[in-house]
Structure 1
Amino acid sequence: MSDNPYKGITGWRRIWRAAGYSLDGLSAAYRGEAAFRQLVWLALVLIPLAIWLPVDNIGRALMIGSVLLSLIIELLNSAIEAAIDRISLERHPLSKASKDMGSAAQMLGLLLIIVVWSLVLLG
C-alpha cells in the first residue's frame, strides 16, 4: 500500500476527483501552452468538419481520432517539458533530447493528421 493518502480513495469519489484533475490539466495546458491552444482551435474546426463531410464512419473516426491523438501528444509533450523545467532550467543535453523528442512526437502527430485526412478525402 502506498503512503499517498489519495490512493485509498475508491469508487465514484475517485472517478470524480480524477475527472477534476483531468480538467485542471486541460485548463493548465490551455492557459500555459500556446501550441495546445492552437491545436484546440484546430480541433474545433476539424472535428465538426469531419462530422459534416460525406465520408464513411471509419474515415470519420480516423479523421477525428488523428486530431484527438495530436491533442494527447501535445499534452504529454507539455508535461515532459514542465517536468524537465521543474527539475532544472539549466541547459543539459538530456533535457534538450527529452524536449526535442516530445516535439518530434508532435510533429509526427501533425503529419498523421495530414496523411489521414488526405487519404480519407482523396483516396
Structure 2
Amino acid sequence: MGKSGLRGIPRLIQAFVCSAKGLSGAWRDEEAFRLEVLAALVLIPAALWLGEGGVEQALLLGSVVLVMIVELLNSAVEAVVDRVGPEHHELSGKAKDIGSAAVLLSLFLVPVIWALVLLG
C-alpha cells in the first residue's frame, strides 16, 4: 500500500490529481514540452485525418505522443538530478545526457514513422 493509505477510487483520484500537477508543472517550467504540445496540436488531428484506418492512425498519433512521454520522463530525471545538488558531477551529467538522447531518438522516430506510413 502507498504512503497515502488510500485504496480504490480515492487512490485513482489522487493519482489523477498528481498527474495533472505534473502536466501543469511541465507546461509551466519546460519550454521543450510546450513546443512539443504545440506541435502535437497540429500533428494529432493530421494523424487522424491522414491515417487510413485505426492502425495507421495509431502509429502516427502514437509517435507524437511518445515524444511528449519521453520529454516528461527526461524532465523528471533532470529534476531529481538538480534536487541532489547543483555541483557538477560526472554521473549527473551522464544521466541528463542520456535523458536528452532518449528525447532525440523519439523525435527522430516521428518523421520515420510518418514517412513509412504515408509514403510506404
TM-score with structure 2 length normalisation? 0.96
Matched, 1:87 2:79: no
1:28-107 to 2 correspondences below 5 Å: 28-107=25-104
Structure 2 residue runs of 5 or longer lacking an equivalent are none
Q: Which moves more between the two structures, 60-69 or 49-58? A: 49-58
1:57-80 per-position Cα deviation (integer Å, ceiling 9, x unaligned): 211100101111111000000000
SS at match of 1:9: coil
Give yes or no for contact 1:55–1:120 (8 Å, CA) kept in 2: no
Matched, 1:26 2:28: no
SS at match of 1:95: helix
> Whole-Å Cα distance in 2 between the matches of residues 31 and 108 of structure 1?
24
Aligned length: 120
Structure 1 residue runs of 5 or longer lacking an equivalent are none
Q: Which of 108, 111, 115 is the aligned partner of 2:108?
A: 111
Runs of 4+ with >4 A deviation: none
In structure 2, the CA distance between the partners of 1:54 and 1:99, relative to structure 1 (3 Å rule), is closer
- Identity over the aligned pairs, expressed in percent? 52
Q: Give 1:56 deviation, angstroms.
A: 2.7
In structure 2, the CA distance between the partners of 1:83 and 1:54, relative to structure 1 (3 Å rule), is closer
> Whole-Å Cα distance in 1 between the matches of residues 51 and 73 of structure 2?
32
SS at match of 1:90: coil
Q: Give 1:54 deviation, angstroms.
A: 4.9
Q: Give 1:113 deviation, angstroms.
A: 0.7
